[in-house]
Structure 1
């Protein structure tokens, strides 16, 4: 309670600062200019970018003399071979031409004749240097000059990246994480050129010493969540840290839950949007996925394609996903309850039609559904294990052949094949794979409730499920947020997706430090 009150007071202070024209965290860079001391410049620049572990610097002597210089760059964004061959090598080994007789280095000669790189620009202020370094350039400063050089050392050919397979997108970016941590961090850095992007390194695994990185945006993410995750990562005790998901299960509140307690993503664009909302990510070397926390059920129902269409189309598609989640979990149970206990809920002709199709079937509706559900699960698992070229063919053809053969043999009814087929199709509408697995597991308990108590049993099962979901917490955040506890502001991007002009605030249930996504023109005029 004390922490919550303290955070609210701090937010009020920040709002007052904005109202009266007091600068924010990054605005302090603008009046700062370079000094003539190399060490001072490098230290101040590192502090301006929060001195994350991937910010590299090297001090050296020009031409092996006493003339000092230094470079600064972000390792995830640059071509280090280019830095060595076109920047460091000429200055260290071939720099006699730029050393004047009056015992100082000729700055202009360094710029014009020593650097065999396409783009070299002078810079004097911290803001332009920080932006350039965050974009993949290298900064060079020389002792005795209150200015430096911004050298283009970006990865020109691009780094290898994968194509999303688990989270495909129709209109969104077609980039996915790979097994190399440095490339993955570069994909994030490329999208967020903010000095407040924090990267904290951890070594996990007593034997593997796997490199993991905690990623968040300082000034947006809730400090309590960040600190909590820091403690959990530091306390992870593993022999071999192999994957992000393995680490994620060890830092969650309820690792035994069938519902995903961390969100797994292979998409850098999805991770970047999540960071901008106030969430925290963990990446691990050797794993092509990242984990995101905290996670809630409505977050798992969102897709990157929701933000590539108009708000009306996206809202309708998102609603259809919730319908798909409901049918994927309950449709077989509803069929069992209606045919076994409550046939009066359907029109008479439909009831007679269903009864006629079940003539000669030796099993009850529950056993019939259970058999078909087992076959469906085996087909889905087989399609994953088989090579991609034949996996889809086996699942489709296998389903058709087995279903038709089972009907002709009188083992199952045609209506049951339809029910299971609809259930399978609706499960594919769930955007998160782990949540789809949870819905598949839920079918069997609901089928048991339906075969024992009918529709009343389904109602009891739903009540128990909602009670369980309401009790779940993820890093202090309710699993059903913002559905419950109810927050009107956050509903604009939950079941529906409001127009972008109305999404001016970050999700309140994530407790972000900076709640504003964008400021209206009226507010900007008031601040100015």
Structure 2
């Protein structure tokens, strides 16, 4: 019986591949000259889909020419279909016939495309693979009896979200516009900021089922050609059923999959993408998501905010240093508290040591278990606040943390100092402008807590050495992840830990752009200075 079941499983597992092969053969079939055969082929391929509209009409003065119009209800602009396509075919057909007679060297398909139709984008199609892709994208298909070609008319229209302020990446000062789920709207938002003919956008379709539109944007002459070729190569290697969000692309093209640190940057702000393109980076825009990918992505980049460049230099530098300090607190604060209170009590002042000992007098758990309980509880509250309705999510998180922390201290399960440490750590984790980097820090915090509970400060030191070695081994599309710190570059330090004035940022990042590194031709004229006294 076991061998029979195994044989049956082999038969079932092989059937999907056969079905996929049959679908591929159907999609690669060519359009026939018989209209009824073509329409029946489309009906059989799409099944009983109620949103696919197929209409047959008669053309010509004597209504002798048969034609078929196919479109997807809900994705096609029916107003333009009625006013510019059906009206042209059914009412202006006499003029079309005259044009066809005066242009005998052209067939009716060419006349409709070049002369008759008053819509913008029209192209000829010859196979069903392209026909199905355009039809299910919202285009209108015209097939005429006696011709083995058809016309695709671009009149896509669907309900979409407008350009609004980004939710995940807010700033105090800066543009308030964010990307949407429409690919063309997103490219237009970037094009508004970079009006350069060298700003190139290449398009691809990824996903055998979804056929998701993906655009690669870069500035020719600034972006490294090798990185551009590498991006195209990695995208062309993707063979998958569907791409639903840019996170699917990110997971399939990143250099190192087994690392908590993000090696591909994502943003929903057009100004961030424009600034990255001007530095020589490459943007990957995916249709259906407001998050745009930027490569190569470096460690320092996840601590930079667009607001740093919209305020004065001293303010931007101070805020950026606070981000690095918050990163250190988030990563090491609980581990240091565990190590000192467990192994190195002599490092504390006597008054503080007595206070901590008094707080922990009735606590039944060691410091590591105590911190673990509080950290897991806070992570649960954080996720609950994110998933709950926005009106009550933040209130629930604050009240929940306050009530649980107070009750745990009064019950003698957790010490008051541990609640303070965990609270400071949680607040510091929200300072990071990048959500992906904040998650990586939260994951590593538990590893450092375990090392501190096992070996004290020695364990933390070993963990830091391993973390630095791991960061230095990472690469993002061939660029060292820790540059310009490792390898060290003096000129790129102007925009690393602190922000230098814009008039002093003369060159682009050294390893990102090596073709056109000069940003400012005459920096002395851009440097602010008081007016000279004419006397």
Matched, 1:382 2:384: yes
Which position in structure 2 is the counterpart of 1:506?
A: 508
**Matches of 2:265 and 2:258, distance apart in 1:** 15
Structure 1: distance between partners of 2:164 and 2:212:
21
Cα distance in 1 for partners of 2:182, 2:215 equals: 12
Which of the residues 295, 298, 313 maps onto 1:296?
298
* Paired position in structure 2 for 1:473: 475
| Equivalent residue, structure 2, for 1:275 | 277
1:406 and 1:509 mapped to 2: Cα distance?
51
Q: Distance in 1 between matches of 2:323 and 2:525?
A: 37
Cα drift, residue 162 of structure 1: 2.3
Name the SS of the counterpart of 2:213 in structure 1.
strand
Distance in 2 (alpha carbons) for counterparts of 1:469 and 1:261: 11
Give me the whole-angstrom Cα distance separating, in 2, the residues matched to 1:357 and 1:215: 58
Q: What displacement does 1:487 show?
A: 0.4
Partner residue in 1 for 2:368: 366
Q: Structure 1, unaligned stretches of length 5 or more?
A: 1-79, 94-158
The list of structure 1 runs, each at least 4 consecutive aligned residues, that deviate by more than 6 angstroms after superposition, is 521-524
Q: TM-score, normalised by structure 2?
A: 0.68
CA apart distance, 1:511: 3.0
CA drift of 1:215 comes to: 0.6
- For 2:169 and 2:364, how far apart are their aligned partners in 1? 41
What is the CA-CA distance between 1:310 and the residue it aligns to?
Answer: 1.0
- Over residues 89-138 of structure 1, what are the superposed CA-to-partner deviations in whole Å (9 max), with x where a residue is unaligned? 9xxx9xxxxxxxxxxxxxxxxxxxxxxxxxxxxxxxxxxxxxxxxxxxxx
Residue pair 1:179, 1:288 contacting (<8 A) in 2 also: yes
1:228 to 205, 227, 230: 230
Larger Rg: 2
Q: CA deviation at 1:256?
A: 2.2
- Structure 2 residue corresponding to 1:412, chosen from 397, 411, 414: 414
Tell whether the 8 Å contact from 1:217 to 1:275 is kept in structure 2 after alignment: yes
Which of 240, 243, 252 is matched with 2:242 structurally? 240
Q: Distance in 1 between matches of 2:309 and 2:472?
A: 28
> Structure 1 residue 160: deviation in Å?
2.4
1:344 corresponds to? 346
Which residue pairs with 1:459 in the alignment?
Answer: 461
Supply the RMSD in Å over aligned alpha carbons: 2.0
**Alignment equivalent of 1:175, drawn from 149, 174, 177:** 177
TM-score normalized by the length of structure 1:
0.69
Q: 2:322 aligns with which of 320, 323, 330?
A: 320
Query: Are 2:245 and 1:251 aligned?
Result: no
How far, CA to CA, are the matches of 1:199 and 1:380 in structure 2?
Answer: 39
Give the drift of 1:523: 10
Q: Residue in 1 aligned with 2:218?
A: 216
1:331 maps to what in 2?
333
Instruction: Say if 2:503 and 2:523, in contact at 8 Å, map to a contact too.
Output: no
- Structure-to-structure mapping, 1:417-428, within 5 angstroms: 417-428=419-430
Q: Deviations over 1:210-269 (max 9, x none)?
A: 000001110111111000000001111111111111111111111221100111101111
- Residue number among 201, 204, 207 corresponding to 1:205 in the alignment: 207
For 2:259 and 2:224, locate their aligned partners in 1 and report how far apart those are by CA, in whole Å: 25
Kept in 2, the 8 Å contact 1:332–1:369? The answer is: yes
Q: Is the 8 A contact 2:338 2:452 kept in 1?
A: yes
Instruction: Evaluate the alpha carbon distance shift between residue 502 and residue 521 of structure 1 in structure 2; reply closer, same or farther with a 3 A threshold.
Output: closer
Deviation at 1:509, TM superposition (A): 2.2
* 1:299-338 deviation per Cα after TM superposition (whole angstroms, max 9, x unaligned): 1110011012111111111011001001101110000001
C-alpha distance in 1, partners of 2:417/2:275? Answer: 43
Alpha-carbon distance in 1 for matches of 2:354, 2:166: 47
SS of the residue corresponding to residue 255 of structure 2 reads coil
Q: 2:435 aligns with which of 433, 436, 455?
A: 433
Is the deviation greater in 502-511 or in 220-229?
502-511
